[in-house]
A and B are shown apart, each in its own frame.
Chain A
Amino acid sequence: MQRKFSFEALFVKYCGVAAVVFSLGCLIVLLTVIFINGIPGLRLDFLTHFPSRFPAQAGIFSALIGTFWILVMTALFSIPLGVMTGIYLEELAKDNWVKRLIQVNIANLSGVPSVVYGILGLAVFVRFLGFDRSILSGALTMSLLILPIIIIATTEAIRAVPLSIRLAAFGVGASPRQVIWYHVLPEAMPGILTGVVLALSRAIGESAPLIMIGALSFVAFVPHHPLDSFTVLSIQIFNWVSRPQEAFHALASSAIVVLLGITLSMNVLAIYLRTRFVQRRGGD
């Protein structure tokens, strides 16, 4: 039986094709523009120099080190907190209104604009606790920002661990902690890691909260201590983009190439972890 030609069928299908092509096109244009403008300025000096008023001498050394500090310290705070909260919600919390309230709360926290976390960090870490405009304040603010992402990823990964494994472990007389530690966590680890990597790549790209807590944009020294002031790549980029001179825009595009190199490779790593995880689940 031959199918009748249908304009409507083609229309629906090609709207979909067009939408996907448009999105992919945006991605390609975006990357092309950045690489064309950014690659020429990407010399070794650029990575090892401090920022400068003279575009020819300016570099991102202090921003790179600052980004690394923020990344490590944010990971240090947010991973244990996020994973532990996820474990509590999935494994220990009784199914009652308290648990539901906490879940709704976390879903809402994940939708709070980053600049609001910045206001919180400014009021609590910088002023109230007196950590000043330091790496510590920045990392704590960033940790609160990405905490919901890690919690949600953890609960999803834990939910995917089959109940039968838990029952088997309880059946030989294990305690809840032993079941979680030896069976649930190892099985959920790839999923948790995917979420953690995505969350940290978000932390690297975010700048609004750090601007709020007053991360300096002109830092001509390397921070040595969590209480030192700092700048990060994304703030350095913001600073250069907001200047009118073309030369600084060129610097910004080179810095963006570096920033994208870091965040996109983290995204790829996360996608790789996730597909491996899905395959393993499917293969059981």
Chain B
Amino acid sequence: MLPVTNVFPKLLTDKLTVKYGEKVGVENISIKFFDSKVTALIGPSGCGKSTYLRSLNRMNDFIPNVKITGKVLFSGQDIYDSSIDPALLRRHIGMVFQKPNPFPKTIFENIAWGPKRAKFAKTEIPQLIEDSLRQAALWDEVKDRLHTSALGLSGGQQQRLCIARAIAMRPSVLLMDEPCSALDPIATSRIEDLIQTLKEKYTIVIVTHNMQQAARVSDITAFFLNGKLVESGETKQIFTLPKEIETENYLTGKFG
């Protein structure tokens, strides 16, 4: 038994099941996510880890016929309750996507757009942009061309811009859906470093198909297989002493 502490999960799912029509995406998943921790969701492709991630800030709403049962609690509130405005929710639970997807606008506008819609004070925005870009380790590279198109940046820079865009909303949770899968190794290692510094301020959930990456960046790991959660726990324990045979098979490369 873990000692009872004063640490409550920022976000948790309780017996969460996501279905597309009749097809089950994930089934009966219960995980808790804590402040200042990076949680990695790993598993072979098609195991439902991205589906699960998108259900944490209701990005699944845009998929037709999606059906959700079970609960997702964010700071104690059920995010699928009809009284919740999903747009407000997403301001607190930001997301970084698999492929860099900057708006076809300037670098400045990319970051400023969200805060403007959320009615952040106008005078605050230039500082906010600098802070976000600094946190995303992009400031020095783009400070002289803030008003040029974001599409002129390299893939790795675009992805860091997307991270800056997400953290400019001052979210408390950051969801990352295979953020490095479209990037080269150098860009990948920069983003991994970035995750380490960001975790001081945010609850981070990252989906990755790369086990080494999960081992490097995460504190807690959850292993998904065929839409089910096989096991979750401290990353060190999962990678050294997995409890389940499926986890061990996956980690030793027997399948996946």
Partners in one complex: yes
A contact residues vs B (CB 8 Å cutoff): 94-95, 162, 164-175, 178, 182-183, 187, 284
Q: Is the CB of B97 within 8 A of A171?
A: yes
Residues of A within 8 A of B166 (CB): 171-172
Q: Is the CB of B99 within 8 A of A164?
A: yes
Given A171-B90, A173-B91, 13 more A-B residue pairs with CB atoms under 8 Å apart are A166-B62, A168-B103, A168-B162, A170-B59, A171-B59, A171-B94, A171-B97, A173-B88, A173-B114, A174-B114, A174-B117, A175-B117, A182-B113
Nearest-neighbor residue (CB-CB) of A161 within chain B:
B104
**14 pairs from A and B in contact (CB 8 Å cutoff):** A94-B64, A95-B64, A165-B103, A167-B62, A167-B95, A168-B162, A168-B165, A170-B59, A171-B59, A172-B114, A173-B87, A173-B91, A173-B114, A183-B103
Residues of B within 8 A of A164 (CB): 97, 99, 101
Question: Assuming A94-B64, A166-B62, A182-B113, is B165 touching A172 (CB within 8 A)?
Answer: yes
Q: Is the CB of A173 within 8 A of B169?
A: yes
- Once the chains are docked, how many angstroms separate the CA of A185 from the CA of B254? 48
Q: Is the CB of B59 within 8 A of A172?
A: no
Q: Count CB-based A-B contacts (< 8 Å).
A: 64
At the interface, yes or no: B137 with Cβ under 8 Å from chain A? no
- Once the chains are docked, how many angstroms separate the CA of A169 from the CA of B87? 10
- Once the chains are docked, how many angstroms separate the CA of A226 from the CA of B84? 48
Question: Assuming A94-B64, A187-B104, A284-B151, is B90 touching A172 (CB within 8 A)?
Answer: yes
What 8 pairs between A and B have smallest CB-CB spacing?
A172-B114, A173-B91, A164-B101, A171-B95, A173-B90, A168-B101, A175-B87, A173-B87
At the interface, yes or no: B227 with Cβ under 8 Å from chain A? no
Residues of B within 8 A of A165 (CB): 101, 103-104
Indicate with 1 or 0, residue by residue over B157-175, a CB within 8 angstroms of chain A CB atoms. Answer: 0000010011011000000
Residues of A within 8 A of B89 (CB): 173
Residues of A within 8 A of B162 (CB): 168
Nearest-neighbor residue (CB-CB) of A94 within chain B:
B64
Residues of B within 8 A of A166 (CB): 62
Q: How far is the CB of B66 from chain A (nearest CB, A)?
A: 12
Nearest-neighbor residue (CB-CB) of A283 within chain B:
B151
- Once the chains are docked, how many angstroms separate the CA of A162 from the CA of B103? 10
Q: Is the CB of A172 within 8 A of B169?
A: yes
Nearest-neighbor residue (CB-CB) of A96 within chain B:
B64
Residues of A within 8 A of B87 (CB): 170, 173-175
Q: Is the CB of B102 within 8 A of A168?
A: yes
- Once the chains are docked, how many angstroms separate the CA of A164 from the CA of B101? 6
Residues of B within 8 A of A187 (CB): 104
Nearest-neighbor residue (CB-CB) of A95 within chain B:
B64
Q: How far is the CB of A180 from chain B (nearest CB, A)?
A: 13
Residues of A within 8 A of B97 (CB): 164, 167-168, 171
Q: Which of B132-166 contact A (CB under 8 A)?
A: 151, 162, 165-166
Q: How far is the CB of B202 from chain A (nearest CB, A)?
A: 15
Residues of A within 8 A of B90 (CB): 170-173
Nearest-neighbor residue (CB-CB) of B111 within chain A:
A172
Among A162, A166, A173, A175, residue most surrounded by chain B Cβ atoms (within 10 Å)? A173
Residues of A within 8 A of B151 (CB): 284
Q: How far is the CB of B3 from chain A (nearest CB, A)?
A: 37
- Once the chains are docked, how many angstroms separate the CA of A164 from the CA of B168? 19
Q: How far is the CB of B179 from chain A (nearest CB, A)?
A: 13
Q: Is the CB of A167 within 8 A of B59?
A: yes
Residues of A within 8 A of B94 (CB): 171-172
- Once the chains are docked, how many angstroms separate the CA of A94 from the CA of B91? 25
- Once the chains are docked, how many angstroms separate the CA of A166 from the CA of B163? 16
Nearest-neighbor residue (CB-CB) of A174 within chain B:
B117
- Once the chains are docked, how many angstroms separate the CA of A169 from the CA of B86? 13
Residues of B within 8 A of A178 (CB): 117
Q: How far is the CB of B52 from chain A (nearest CB, A)?
A: 17
- Once the chains are docked, how many angstroms separate the CA of A55 from the CA of B168? 72
Nearest-neighbor residue (CB-CB) of A284 within chain B:
B151
Q: Is the CB of A169 within 8 A of B103?
A: yes
Q: How far is the CB of B133 from chain A (nearest CB, A)?
A: 15
Nearest-neighbor residue (CB-CB) of A168 within chain B:
B101
Residues of B within 8 A of A173 (CB): 87-91, 114, 117-118, 169
Question: Assuming A94-B64, A167-B97, A182-B113, is B91 touching A172 (CB within 8 A)?
Answer: yes
